[in-house]
A and B are shown apart, each in its own frame.
Chain A
Amino acid sequence: MTGLLEPRTGRWSPRVGDVTTQAEPVPPGAAEPDDDEVGRRFAAGDEQALAWAYERWAARVHGMAVRAFGPGPDAEDVTQQTFVSAWTGRAGYRPDQGPLPAWLTGVCRHKIADTWAKRDRQRRAAEAAIIEAQARPTGGPQPVDAAVADRVLLLGELDRLGQPQRGIIELAFFADLTHAQISERTGLPLGTVKSHIRRTLERLRDRLEVDGAALHA
């Protein structure tokens, strides 16, 4: 989805939103394809591209999962689900919108947020069970952790952004770059970066205010 967060390797086009050329067939016995070629073949449903993607980026994805949950079953589930969802949802990957590893990172963010939401559901169920076991009057259902629910909501909204808006806001949110650094990184004029940031933040604000958990808990 985003081409902005990745180091420019291989033949990846340096400008946001540039459309790459069609995949070229790789002759048998040729050297391994570069990252862009893996991305195009992944999108086209080539099973070998999933294995290549795993070889190249599973450690990156798993590193994120381990950072969020520590080593263990939760992190492993996140990594596994990231690749399974990426493969089954590959129709949603557009090679002309960004490199595959950046898209996998976005899928991984969803899986992390989903895991938080699952834990929050389990927490509430456990607390409800404790309260029930003690036969204590309750103040109604256990509150949803609003931040957990809002993360799922807003990551979904990011998926709906086109380029270059999505890449710009991801650089601001997840790479902690200033608008000047984003302008430098992308080659987009400062004013363009600022106005994309502004419009995206307003869009996210509206989404939170209309559907956010905090107001409806």
Chain B
Amino acid sequence: MPHCTPEDLGLAALREPLGPDAAEHLAGCASCTDEVGRLRRAVDVLTVPELAEPTAPVAPPPALWAGIAAATGVSSAPRPQVVAASAPPAGPVPDAPPVPLAPLPAEPVPLRPAAARPLPPEPPVAPVVPLRPRRSRLLLAAAAALVVGLGVGAGAVALSGREDEGVAVAAAQLDPLAGSDATGTASVVEREDGTRVLRVELAADAPAEGYYEAWLLTESVSGLVPLGVVRAGTEEFELPPGIDIGEYPVVDVSVEPLDGDPAHSGESVARGLLES
């Protein structure tokens, strides 16, 4: 089958289904797939719910016109009751466009919202959006820890080679961070079916409050991947498919308060660098 027509590539960029032949070709053709990706960038930039066709009308506050009159100098004026009548009372919108939900972080979560779709929702009335305080603390703590901590423990754990279920492909010694006496080891084990797990063995007292959570971090701590709750003893976490442990080589264990906030608390108790 020849390459897809340019028209089909455009429709595919808009995520319209193609005919069976074109769809089959596209699935197996790197060059057509690449072109769809290039066209789709513009689609993804603009098809955000905030820019979609207007849905629910909302009457602006009556005082708003005064600013328009002042800026334009017009002497006519709308009748406030007509403006108010143009918006039905607030209620459910029957045909609001579907709002894409942000997926749960199955893939690396950057510390700062990156240029990804959908646009992160902004707080309604905050002109300045500073770094989240919890995260900036994480950055500081992590930067300090990487200077003093990593390298000491790194590579100190001999790879045990073939494990009972799979092959250890990388390992780290987890060293305590300031104020903590938690220690442990971590290893990445590749199973026969190709999936990989992070096996964490943690020696630590239960935290006074909250729980321990395991993370993979980039070396610069610019990104992190949550893995799950760690208890003392040995725990295994399946790694998200496709994650590159060369890119996320730092195993981090934090204390997380029971506050429902999925972000890193900034309070790490142990950390180590995976080495293959």
With an 8 Å Cβ cutoff, the count of chain A residues facing the other chain is 81
Q: Chain B 102-126, CB within 8 Å of chain A: the 1/0 string? A: 0000000000111111010011110
- Cβ of A197: which chain B residues have Cβ within 8 Å of it? 7, 10-11, 14
A20 proximity list for chain B (CB < 8 A): none
Q: Is the CB of A71 within 8 A of B124?
A: yes
Binds B, one of A9-17, A23-31, A80-88, A92-100: A80-88
A71 touches B68 (CB 8 A): no
Residues of A contacting B56 in the complex (Cβ-Cβ under 8 angstroms): 63, 67
Q: Is the CB of A155 within 8 A of B53?
A: no
| A56-B86, A58-B86, A198-B7 known; A119+B127 contact, CB < 8 A | yes
Q: Is B204 an interface residue (CB 8 A)?
A: no
Q: Is the CB of B45 within 8 A of A208?
A: yes
Closest to A169 in B: B46
Per-residue CB proximity of B61-81 to A under 8 Å, as 1/0?
A: 100110110011011111100
A61 within 8 A of B: yes
Taking CB atoms, residues of chain B closer than 8 Å to A19 are none
Interface pick from B34-42, B163-171, B223-231, B264-272: B34-42
Alpha-carbon distance A10/B208, docked complex (angstroms)? 70
Contact between B57 and A63, CB atoms less than 8 A apart: yes
Q: Cβ of A113: which chain B residues have Cβ within 8 Å of it?
A: 51
Q: Does B50 contact A (CB under 8 A)?
A: yes
Partner of B124, one of A69, A158, A195, A209: A69
**Interface class of chain A by DSSP:** helix
B60 near A79: Cβ-Cβ < 8 Å: yes
In the assembled complex, the Cα of A176 lies from the Cα of B46 at a distance in Å of 11
Q: Determine whether the beta carbon of B130 is less than 8 Å from that of A64.
A: no
Chain A residues whose CB sits within 8 angstroms of the CB of B54 once the complex forms: 60-61, 63-64, 67, 105
- For residue B61, which residue of chain A has the nearest CB? A76
Per-position 1/0 for A135-156, Cβ under 8 A of B:
0100000010111101100110
Residues from chain A with a CB closer than 8 A to the CB of B195 are: none
Per a CB cutoff under 8 Å, which of B9, B45, B83, B122 touches A147? B45
Count B interface residues, CB 8 Å. 67
B112: nearest chain-A partner, CB-CB:
A143
Whether B65 contacts A174 by the Cβ 8 Å rule is: no
B60 to chain A minimum Cβ distance, whole angstroms, is 4
Q: Are B74 and A146 in contact (CB under 8 A)?
A: no
- Report yes or no: B53 in contact with A123, Cβ–Cβ below 8 A: no
> Which of B75, B82, B140 is in CB contact (< 8 Å) with A47?
B75
Decide: B42 and A208 in contact? CB cutoff 8 A: yes
Contact with A along B133-148 (1 / 0, CB 8 A): 0001000100100000
- Determine if A59 and B58 form an interchain contact, defined as CB atoms under 8 angstroms apart: yes
Nearest-neighbor residue (CB-CB) of B130 within chain A: A126
CA distance A50 to B47 in the complex (A): 30
Residue A8 lies at the interface, judged by CB distance under 8 Å to chain B: no
- Per the 8 Å Cβ criterion, residues 164-217 of A in contact with B are 172-176, 178-179, 191, 194-195, 197-198, 201-202, 204-205, 207-209, 212-214, 217
B residues 152-199 touching A (CB-CB < 8 Å): none
CB pair A116–B119 under 8 Å, yes or no, is: yes
Question: Of residues A109, A147, A202, which shows the largest number of chain B Cβ atoms within 10 Å of its Cβ?
Answer: A147
Min CB gap A208→B, angstroms: 6
Given A146-B115, A176-B97, A198-B7, verify A123-B128 contact (CB < 8 Å). yes
Q: How far is the CB of A2 from chain B (nearest CB, A)?
A: 11
Chain B's closest residue to A190 (CB) is B7
Report how far A48 CA is from B117 CA in the complex, Å. Answer: 41
- Chain A window 36-63, contacts with chain B (Cβ cutoff 8 Å), 1 for yes, 0 for no: 0000000000011011101111111111
- Which chain A residues border B125 with CB–CB below 8 Å? 70, 72-74
A64 and B71 alpha carbons, distance in the complex (Å) = 22
Q: Give the contacting residue for A55; candidates B55, B86, B97; CB below 8 A.
A: B86
Q: Are A62 and B131 in contact (CB under 8 A)?
A: no
Q: Using CB atoms, name the residue of chain B closest to A113.
A: B51
Contact A175/B83 with A130-B131, A201-B39, A202-B39 known, Cβ cut-off 8 Å: no
13 contacts between A and B (CB under 8 A): A47-B74, A50-B76, A55-B83, A58-B83, A59-B83, A62-B87, A63-B58, A71-B124, A74-B125, A105-B53, A105-B54, A154-B42, A173-B43
Q: A198-B7, A201-B13 are in contact. List 11 more A-B contacts (CB 8 A).
A: A5-B53, A47-B74, A57-B86, A63-B58, A64-B50, A74-B127, A174-B51, A175-B52, A176-B98, A208-B42, A212-B41
